Amino acid sequence: MNIAVKHLGKLSTLAVMISLTGCGSDIATNTDIEAVDTTSPVSDWKMVWNDEFDGTSINMSKWSHEVDCSGGGNQEEQCYTDSAENSYVSDGTLKIVALPAEDAAKPYTSARLRTLNQGDWTYGRFEVRAKLPQGQGTWPAFWMLPTDEVYGGWPHSGEIDILEAVNLKVANDDGTLQSSIYGTLHYGKSWPDNVSSGKEYVFPQDQNPADDFHTYAIEWQEGEIRWYVDGYLYQTQRRSEVRYNSKGEASGLKHQGWFAEYYSQQTGELENHWTNAPYDQDFHLLLNLAVGGSWPANVNDTGIDETAFENGGQVFEIDYVRVYECALDPNTGRGCETLRKGYDSEEDALVLGKAPKPAAPTPPGPAQNLTIFADANNPDWPIWDCCGGSTPTVETDGDYGAVAEFIIGSSPTVMGFNTNQSDEPKPYDASSFVATGKVEFDMKVVTPPNDASAVWKFKIEQGGTSTAVELDLTDSIEGVAPVTGEWQHYSFSLQDLADKGLDVSGIDVLMIFPAWGSGEGAVYRVDNVTIGSPENTAGASVELVLFEDTSNLQWPIWDCCGGSTPTEETDDADHNTVAEFIIGASPTVMGFLAEDNLYFDASSIQTEGVVQFEMKVTSAPNDAAAVWKFKVESGDTTTAVELDLTDSNEGLAPATGVWQTYTFPLQMLADQGLDTSAIDVIMIFPAWGTGEGAVYRVDNAKIYNPNAVSAPAGLDLFKDMSAANWSIWDCCGGSTPAEQTDDAPYGTVAEFAIGASPTVMGFLADDNVYFDAEALAATGSVKFDMKVVTAPNDAAAVWKFKIESGDTTTAVELDLTDSNEGLAPATGVWQTYTFPLQKLADEGLDLTAIDVVMIFPAWGTGEGAVYRVDNASISAQ
């Protein structure tokens, strides 16, 4: 029964619903009643309180009347009285009577009785045998409220509706007569954010609760409440169960049930609690008959049928009310459960609650996506055959390049990627982005299983099978079955996997396979295997560099209308190459203009992002009163904002001969009307018509988020040309490695030729130049492409990779076959080699001062070798 406005959110739907819903109950059950002997005693339940209504008056030592005309918080149309006309005992039953009123504040009178401070209990079985009233506008209830409101006012301390019904025997839209009762819980946040969960029970067509007496009960124990009609269990509700990850952090809900919101003693703030609360305190019983109100008046025939209350009114007739205690464990109410098969199934009696999920654990730093396989295997996640005895391999597949290939023989097996098979297992914690993250991969079936009915599976595990989820590939977001010979993309939501029971804080195995025992003959390939979220960029953020020592070719420096050509000039050591603008006699504006149909979307950083640049006035405008302006446009002048430079964060007017920084927050520009999703012009200029004679320079112009954690920068040792301060190099052979042109897509490459003198070759930093790769250690690698043009004269020569740091203070030398790809060079073929930085560090390399990278046949075995290298880099994976 409602004690505050609980149905307003439902009224728009209630008016058009075909079947009745009530008091938050939105699940209907049409169940054939099982044969139950309701006269037999309930096992292990001990009666501790009852009223059989066998006397001649209401027992006021057990009950008290509530007298008010408040409408129950639901716009009800009755006044509750203590008059004998509205409630009395006769012929062994209690009658609660709703009558038309003559001189009352409401058009009807009725009664509401309660056991507050006369009968209060935590846990037990609460049962009523009653015959319900009928007619449009009737609303009888047998329910419970908290005695002390330990967790706060309604609904924070909860409400238990054991029985409610409205408009019994009134026609439904389908022509049947209304015959439903409802059981509901109310809890959560203050109105209007309160929630409820419950279920409707529909009587069989030959029965109606207004025609005869029926028993209605709940069994309430610690963490669970069950509802019964004539002994038949039709509904179960439970407390929420929180899922914890391997770090002991709340990461989701195993079961979504009820919850409580109340003030924390530690923080003094309102917080959600997923415990037994609020249903772990004393509650008392209520019996009442309401007339009208927000629920009954808005369903069936709507309103109140006055004729239904003529000739003695409507009667809610109660034979008895009984309260039982579980003799086996009164403190918890456990051990006396009256159960049936299906009571704990969501497909049957178990009702999900409305508890919110706990907030995702806060990561210790920026979240990083995990690449398990993309053109190369992540050595921390080896490709793996569980039980078939095969060795999955890396193969080449057209545009996909290097891919993982799995072949299933006669032995049943599962295959995939398993970090536990690496030398140092590294389970992956995805808990910080479970709401937005996915597991994704591309797969191509080369040869289908011999069993044409084989179902392809995806399985993911955590903690050595502590938690696991197995799904069909058709359960993916894409919902497609594999097609032989075609690459297909599959993705699985981390939230869905977590909801199904996976602890995403320690993922250690990922499998893709035909169902166990059905895979013989299958050959399939997998690539681009990742776990991550589009929100994860290792802390990086969208950024547009307009000018920083050189022009952005897609955003050229620009003179709108003056006919000049802005140029690149050399300034002081701190600024080096800068953009220079000169304004002549023709009025103009100047700055940076995007190419046609090119727009920069800064909306994702609008809250914290800025447009920032440095400017130096070399010669001031002839007009000493000229005001310097900043203007930004979006969407081909659809929106634009123009401001004075003094409106910048710095608030400075330009000073001749001095470099000054200007910062304009994107949010400020958006508040002025700029659409930040399609920026295409940035202008810096003296106000129109006042700029003649001005010469000014701009550098370090960009749009970015200054608070973002920048992704660590990598180093391209050679990509069509050598890196600045690094050269292609022959240590000891006297040759001069050269740049040569190779086939597309390689273009310019580095070529090394070894003569008679033993040597090593590669890339050498200039004196006192070192590359610090420590920030890239977790995911970074040294990677390069190599093609042997002519093999060494010594056919047994072993190809090597060596890297040094700190002027040979530390160094690591490995065979090329120790790379992620594990391949030996093949003459005439470009091949990729990847060496993880973490692996190199584990071998003893100091990552903070890398100064030599070498690729060569083992010392003294290389004579005659000619080989080429391209796309050599030290970078994030």
The domain made up of 370-532 is a member of CATH 2.60.120.430: yes
Alpha-carbon span 399 to 526, nearest angstrom: 13
CA distance readout (Å), 143 to 190, 391, 716, 849 = 20, 65, 73, 74
Q: Is residue 27 classed as helix, strand or coil in its secondary structure?
A: coil
**Dihedral sign for Cα atoms in the order 663, 668, 672, 674:** positive
pTM score: 0.51
Q: What is the DSSP letter of 827?
A: B
Query: Which among 224, 440, 408, 427 is positioned nearest to 333, based on CA atoms?
Result: 224
> Residue 81 to residues 7, 110, 164, 288: CA-CA distances in angstroms?
25, 6, 20, 11
Euclidean distance between the first and the last CA atom of the chain, given in angstroms as a whole number: 60
CB-based burial of residue 368 (10 Å sphere; 0-12 exposed, 13-18 middle, 19+ buried)?
buried
Tell me which residues of the chain have a pLDDT lower than 50: 2-39, 41, 363-366, 537-540
Which class does domain 546-704 fall in?
mainly beta
Task: Tell whether the torsion through CA atoms of 778, 784, 788 and 792 is positive or negative.
Answer: negative
What would the two tokens of residue 494 be? Answer: 């981390």
The answer for residues whose C-beta is within 8 angstroms of residue 613's C-beta and 6 or more apart is 546, 547, 661, 662, 684, 698, 699, 700, 701, 702
What's the CA gap between 516 and 202, in Å, rounded? 44
Q: What is the DSSP letter of 10?
A: G
| Number of residues written out for the chain | 877
Give the largest Cα separation in the chain, rounded. 121
Residues acting as catalytic residues? 159, 164
List of residues 6+ apart from 400 with CB closer than 8 A:
442, 487, 525, 527, 528
- Does the domain formed by 715-875 have CATH 3.40.50.150? no
Same CATH topology for 370-532 and 715-875? Answer: yes
Q: Quick one: which of 622, 680, 672 has its CA closest to 647?
A: 672
Residue whose token pair is 């001005």: 694
The residues pairing with 283 across neighbouring beta strands, listed in sequence order, are 121, 146
| Half-sphere exposure (Cβ direction) of 29: Cα atoms closer than 13 Å | 26
Contact between 581 and 560 under an 8 Å Cβ cutoff? The reply is no
Cα of 759 vs its chain's centroid, Å:
54
Q: How far is CA 456 from the centre of its chain?
A: 26
| pLDDT of 19 | 29
708 exposed, middle or buried (CB, 10 Å; 0-12, 13-18, 19+)?
middle
- The CA-CA-CA angle for residues 462, 467, 468, to 5°, reads 85
The secondary structure of 304-325, three-state, reads: CCHHHHCCCCEEEEEEEEEEEE
Return the SS3 of 516: coil
Spell out the domain ranges in the chain: 8-31+43-326, 370-532, 546-704, 715-875
Q: Say which CATH topology domain 8-31+43-326 has.
A: Jelly Rolls (2.60.120)
